[in-house]
Amino acid sequence: MSDYAAIIVTLKLALTTSAILMLIGLPFAWWLARPSHSLIKNKTRPLIEAVVALPLVLPPTVLGFYLLIVFSPNSWIGSTWLQLTGTTLAFSFTGLVVGSIIYSLPFVIQPLQAAFAAIPQQLLEMSESLGTTKFQRFKHIIFPLSKSGMISAFSLGFAHTLGEFGVVLMIGGNIQNETRVVSIAIYDHVETLRFSDAHQLSLILIAFSLVLLTLLYRNKNNRIGFQ
């Protein structure tokens, strides 16, 4: 039944990560997407975008390695965490969430940023002149026009976290009910030559991801186009 627990941990991790990423990602992607007249913002934006995109190109082991160092009680972050909670970030579920957030960041930020950037500035100005408050503008203009981008962002963040392996291996290890996710379980099965178990989990992951991505692309093709 350890495989069942791995599936639960994986789903929990993917849900938590993508939910937190959406919360961080909405304002952050908005900030990145909207044109600005501030010189500082325009100068720093490419650098920030590059940092966001780093997890796309770096091997997960690099990310995992640095996270491990940061999480260790020898670093100030690790020691502060230890003092506050009495536990270490490394080899814990919370640590995995932190790692996944960084690892999946570009998969959430980039679709959101693209969706926000596609909203013409004039439409926002127009709705402003029509008397709407900031919140009403979000509700009636920004949200409906970027809804499909938001769904993409959430699904991609979710799907990408599901398939995470390297970072988990580096910072999470293989603790039952805590950090043992599906990808680790599969690795474990293969290592111990339990191929049928590995098959079972792999097929579940393939089927799940395929359904998720199909839904995602169907949503993409249905969205309202600008004329």
Partner 1 sequence: MLNIKLDCLFDDFSLQVDQNLPTQQIVGLFGASGCGKSRFIRQLLGFDHHFQNETYIQFNESVWQNLQSKVFLKTQHRGIGYLPQTIDLFPHLSVRKNIEFSCINSNRSIDEYWLSRLCFELDIEHLLKKTPSQLSGGQKQRVALARAIIAATKILILDEPLSAIGEDHRPQIMQFIRNFQKEKQIPIIFSSHNRVEHAFLTDYLLTFKAGVIEQSGTYEKISTDINGNFSQMSDAINHIQAEVVEFEIENHVNCLKTAHHQLWAGYQPLNTGSLVNLEVRAQDISIFLGEKTDTSILNSLRVKIVDFKEISRHQYIIKLAFEDTYLIAFITKKSFTTLNLKIDQQVFAMFKSVSVLPISFKSE
Question: Where does this chain bind partner 1 (CB under 8 A)?
Answer: 37, 120, 122-123, 125-133, 136, 140-141, 144-145, 224-227
Least distance (Å) from partner 1 to the CB of residue 28?
23
Region of 175 (left: φ > 0; alpha: ψ -120 to 50; beta: rest) is beta
- Residue 133 gets the label, from left (phi > 0), alpha (psi -120 to 50) or beta, of beta
Q: Which is nearer to partner 1, 38 or 83 (CB)?
A: 38
CB of 41 to partner 1, least distance (A): 12
Q: Please report how close the Cβ of residue 127 comes to partner 1 at its closest, in angstroms.
A: 7
Q: Closer CB to partner 1, residue 125 or residue 210?
A: 125
Q: How far apart are CA 224 and CA 227, in angstroms?
A: 9
Is the CB of 140 or the CB of 194 nearer to partner 1? 140
Nearest to partner 1 of 140, 199 (CB atom):
140
In this complex, which beta carbon is closest to partner 1, that of residue 59 or of residue 144?
144
Shortest spacing between CB 51 and partner 1, in angstroms: 27
CB of 35 or CB of 46, closer to partner 1: 35
In angstroms, the CA 153 to CA 158 distance is 8
Instruction: Answer whether 144's CB lies under 8 Å from 118's CB.
Output: no
In sequence order, the 6+-apart residues with CB closer than 8 A to the CB of 167 are 60, 63, 64, 67, 99, 100, 103
Q: Considering the complex, what minimum distance in angstroms separates the CB of residue 202 from partner 1? A: 41
Backbone conformation region of residue 34, classed left if phi is above 0, alpha if psi is from -120 to 50, else beta: beta
The identity of residue 124, as a single letter, is: L
Rounded-to-integer distance, Cα 131 and Cα 56, Å:
41
Q: How far is the CB of 133 from partner 1 (least distance, A)?
A: 6
Nearer to partner 1, 14 or 115 (CB): 115
Q: Virtual CA dihedral for 137, 139, 145, 150, nearest 10 degrees?
A: 130
Q: How far is the CB of 161 from partner 1 (least distance, A)?
A: 30
CB atoms within 10 A of CB 60: 19
